[in-house]
Chain A
Amino acid sequence: MGGLLPIDRSGLSLRAKLYELNWLLPVLIAVTGAIGVVMIFAATDGVWTHGAAQHAIRIGVAGVIMLGIALIDIKVWYTLSYPAYFGALALLIGVELIGVNVNGSQRWLDLGVMRIQPSEVMKLAIVMALARYYHDLARWRISHISGLIGALLLIAIPMALILRQPDLGTTLLLGATGVAIVFLAGVSWRVIGFASLLMAVGLPLFVQFGLKEYQRDRIWTFLDPSRDPSGASYHITQSKIALGSGGVSGKGFMNGTQRQGDYVPENRTDFIFTVIGEEFGLIGSLMTIAIYIAVISLSIYLAMKCKSTYAKLLILGLITTFTLYIFINLGMVMGLMPVVGVPLPLISYGGTVVMAVMAGFGLILSAHLHRNSELPRTRL
């Protein structure tokens, strides 16, 4: 395959690549996807065609794409970092202009053959762009104003566009990922302290003026659940009841009464963890979390094996996004965070997210597979 791609200069044959590929990660991902299939099956009262089968097919198709991405030389992705970012930015602006409105949010772009969610594309592209940026940036600039402004612009512009859709969850996810990469790149503690101070002042202002009414509402409701017993806090309350009533060993597969009674809305998508918690109890919940920790740890291990800053930051950035998905989703389901509408990656039903996450793992696998590639530095 390497021969077919003129820009693949890794010099490895396809067979060697398939041998070299870290297969443990795809296996863990497949296991996680399988948990998703089983739980979606339960959440839809045991009807295969109501999501479980689709999810299985999507995991399979996305798995093939993931492997495809993995086999392509990291230099290709390295070269595509900025084009991908600006392409995603263009899509976001396209959404702004001609997007499809679903449930009051303009997140989708209808391309005729398919609908895509540019914010999902941006989640990958921003990691690529920032990895590339810090790969090139001179060390002394990292904490210098000249280097900070570049990073700030790379992060803030897509955040602003996504917030306008409005999609608070993805905005924060994007911001957090960006900040994590800046942090990993080695920005000085002095800057971190200063930025924290700025946040402490800016956040209240942002909440007051940057958020839509319903977004503010969710935050207040989270802080004081009694405000709205039937709306968002109903959601959290029922979610906690589902988890709590599962106890240590759970009510048993397909036996969740909260699930049967449809008490937890969206339990096929964002609230699928409630089904795991209710039917498989603490044991099932912790096992699921353990698999996630395995995926994350393995990815970090793979990052450490890479030679280039680009590859390292790419893997760490992507796995940060993945981890944040999990934190936000579980925090929300357990009532530790406001309801923001972030899926549990690989387990929640939903095609775009599966595709984006698996593409990310494709990049991680590619970075690791080509860990010894020398990537040129354009000095900034």
Chain B
Amino acid sequence: MARKSKITPKNSAAEQAEADSVLSRRTLFLGAGGLVMFGALGARLYDLQVRKAENYIALSENNRFNYNILLPSRGRILDRNSEPLAVNQPNYRVVLIPERSQDIENVLRHVGEVIELEPKSLKRIHQDIKNSPRFVPITIQDNMDWKTFAALNMRMHDLPGIIPEVAEGRAYPNGGIFAHTLGYIGRAGDEDIAQDKDPLLRQPTFRVGKTGVESAVEKRLRGASGKLKVEVNAVGRIVREWPDSKDAATPGEDVYLTLDAQLQKFAADQFGDDSGGVSVMDCVTGELRTLLSMPSFDGNLFVNGLTQADMDRMNSDPKRPQFNKVIGGGYPPASTFKMVVMLAALESGLIDPRRPVFCVGRMRLGNRLFHCWKRQGHGRMTMRDGLKHSCDTYFYEISQVIGINRIAEMARRLGLGENHGVGIAGEKSGIVPDEAWKKARLGSGWRMGDTLNASIGQGFVLATPLQLSVMAARLANAQFALKPSLIIGNGIPSFDKLDIDPAHLAFVREAMHAVCEEPGGTAYRYDSLKLGGIEMAGKTGTGQVRGISTSERASGVRKNNVVPWELRDHSIFVGFAPYDKPRFAVGTIVEHGGSGAGRAADITRNVLSEALRRDGMGPMTLKEAAAL
């Protein structure tokens, strides 16, 4: 403050003048700076609104419009008579679009007040949210009933991001009986997405075929996605749709199967609670009219996601409902294999069919005893009688002469030991053993005992019900090596010549006819088909599941009804009808169903009869008569 005294009014005035002048200059300086700043802002505006305007207009349009992927309707699966086997039905569901929701947890909690969300589904929802782009709708709940759906709709205003929609869901109107064949659909898995670049697969609400026909003809059923131009706001809510620029989805193609739904249902009714499979094949075209595995599961369960309880129940069921037995189950064909041995013998020319064999109920080979199913023996047996009565001893005898390789060769010609490629996954080729097979598979040499076992369709031989029906169809057709087909439109099949002497085939067919239509035949039943004189041909088989010990033989083999279910014999039957002009061939296996003359024969007879009736070959039903 020392200088304070020096200030005089004069000094003060000069100082003020100097201060004013500095202030003016500095104001000018800052003002100029301000103008430069405004100039910069103006230049920036020019840059944005003139130079780059087009670019930003495009971005703004981009903002404004979105393309929503439109899911195609999945093609239906129909039977040969256009009866629907897999259809689409309205599915009321709610989805969540994560980017439209600020607070997903809160929204989910509110949703949880209306519909019960199990911890498991909540976990799935969170997983989906994490794995999908934020604009992709995540399914919260599928297949809701109308009441819940409506209740949730009422609360939409405080559930941002939640969108109720009516989508298409898959339904299988016949429940389980086509489940193995049709398969089911589900979310595309990582492998699916890796193999197939179709963007539809990334839509969490989209479903692809997982197994069966659904998977086999996925490409035909799927169709192509469409898109819809929509105007959206910043949070993705659709402000407006632009239907003019809608590019509709191309629905998937309907796929027809060769199956006859009514016949398949009839066959399923014949099975009741039994386990097994039946295949019905057209003896002219090879088309499968029925391809049934029992028991089955409800394919609809897989559509909605299986509960753990359902899964456990299926996995613990000894009848293995998930297993497609008709194409994937290998069973000893047992005596139904005898036609193979018979034809091999005839074609070899080594056996005179009229030369008899004497059956005493057993045969000794070295120090082993081979038993005929009839303990007291059949007595004198020619080839025809051997088949009619299913005399094991006869086949033991002739098989030693012709050898396993001729038998195996004939088995393969008749369609055994081969994967026929009906078009769905899970088909097995079974086993037709010969010397080379045993060497490769077991590393040991072929023994005569193996031939004897094979001659009655036991031992190493395994066949599926489908293969048995193919065998029966080839025997019946006599000209072509028919192949089974399931999906119509997979190309017209061409068949190789069967190349077996028609006289020999006629001989075998006649013997099979005797089995069913002559008193004394193992499957004889008066008026077997109940179709006014239409006759059938066939062969029983009783597939042994357990070894029978010497002591048990001594004390009497236990009857099937006193041993546990899983130790009982498999009941097997192959057949075709009509005998004189074959239309349909059938292969039936009833797991642990006892004697082939019992369950399997009954089922086959009824199914053949129904197939012919439905084909218009039998007498009219009362209903059809009334309709005229």
Q: Does B48 contact A (CB under 8 A)?
A: yes
A334 engages B63 (CB within 8 Å): no
B36-82 contacts to A, CB under 8 A, are 37-38, 40-42, 44-46, 48-50, 52-53, 55-57, 59-61, 63-64
Chain A 271-311, CB-CB to B under 8 Å as 1, else 0, gives: 00000010001100110010001001100100110000100
Q: Does A258 contact B (CB under 8 A)?
A: yes
> Do A186 and B26 form a contact, CB below 8 Å, given A139-B18, A246-B49, A289-B42?
yes
B38 to chain A: closest CB distance in Å? 6
A282 engages B46 (CB within 8 Å): yes
Chain A 317-347, CB-CB to B under 8 Å as 1, else 0, gives: 0001001000100110010100000000000
> Do A327 and B41 form a contact, CB below 8 Å, given A243-B48, A261-B63?
yes
Q: Does B232 contact A (CB under 8 A)?
A: yes
Q: Does B239 contact A (CB under 8 A)?
A: yes
Q: Is the interface of B mostly helix, strand, loop or mixed?
A: helix
Q: Does B306 contact A (CB under 8 A)?
A: no
B233 engages A241 (CB within 8 Å): no
Closest chain A residue, CB of each to CB of B6: A138
Q: Which residues of B contact A316 (CB under 8 A)?
A: 23, 27, 30
A244 engages B48 (CB within 8 Å): yes
A86 to chain B: closest CB distance in Å? 23
In the bound assembly, the distance between CA atoms of A186 and B3 in angstroms comes to 20
Q: How many residues of chain B get a CB closer than 8 Å to chain A's CBs? A: 45
> Do A289 and B52 form a contact, CB below 8 Å, given A183-B30, A186-B19, A241-B60?
no
Q: Which residues of B contact A242 (CB under 8 A)?
A: 60
Closest chain A residue, CB of each to CB of B52: A244
A243 engages B41 (CB within 8 Å): no
How many inter-chain residue pairs (CB < 8 Å) link A and B?
Answer: 131
Closest chain B residue, CB of each to CB of A282: B49
B582 to chain A: closest CB distance in Å? 71
Q: Does B31 contact A (CB under 8 A)?
A: yes
Partner of A263, one of B30, B49, B57, B63: B63
A1 to chain B: closest CB distance in Å? 30
Closest chain A residue, CB of each to CB of B232: A261
Q: Which residues of B contact A186 (CB under 8 A)?
A: 19, 22-23, 26
Q: Does B626 contact A (CB under 8 A)?
A: no
Closest chain A residue, CB of each to CB of B65: A257
A185 engages B23 (CB within 8 Å): yes
> Do A244 and B16 form a contact, CB below 8 Å, given A183-B26, A286-B42?
no
Q: Does A379 contact B (CB under 8 A)?
A: yes
A257 to chain B: closest CB distance in Å? 5
Q: Which residues of B contact A323 (CB under 8 A)?
A: 34
Q: Which residues of B contact A293 (CB under 8 A)?
A: 35, 38
Q: Does A262 contact B (CB under 8 A)?
A: yes
Q: Which residues of A contact B57 (CB under 8 A)?
A: 244-245, 247
Closest chain A residue, CB of each to CB of B58: A245
B234 engages A261 (CB within 8 Å): yes
In the bound assembly, the distance between CA atoms of A347 and B12 in angstroms comes to 43
Q: Which residues of B contact A331 (CB under 8 A)?
A: 41
B16 to chain A: closest CB distance in Å? 7
Q: Does B132 contact A (CB under 8 A)?
A: no
Q: Which residues of B contact A257 (CB under 8 A)?
A: 60-61, 63-64
B48 engages A334 (CB within 8 Å): yes
B63 engages A258 (CB within 8 Å): yes
B60 engages A282 (CB within 8 Å): no
B232 engages A247 (CB within 8 Å): no
Q: Which residues of A contact B24 (CB under 8 A)?
A: 304
In the bound assembly, the distance between CA atoms of A22 and B245 in angstroms comes to 59
Q: Does B447 contact A (CB under 8 A)?
A: no
Q: Which residues of A contact B232 (CB under 8 A)?
A: 261
* Residues of chain B having any CB pair with chain A under 8 Å: 3-4, 7, 12, 15-16, 18-20, 22-24, 26-27, 30-31, 34-35, 37-38, 40-42, 44-46, 48-50, 52-53, 55-57, 59-61, 63-64, 231-235, 239
Interchain residue pairs with CB less than 8 A apart (15): A138-B4, A180-B30, A244-B49, A245-B59, A247-B50, A248-B50, A261-B231, A262-B234, A262-B235, A265-B234, A289-B45, A293-B38, A320-B30, A323-B34, A379-B7
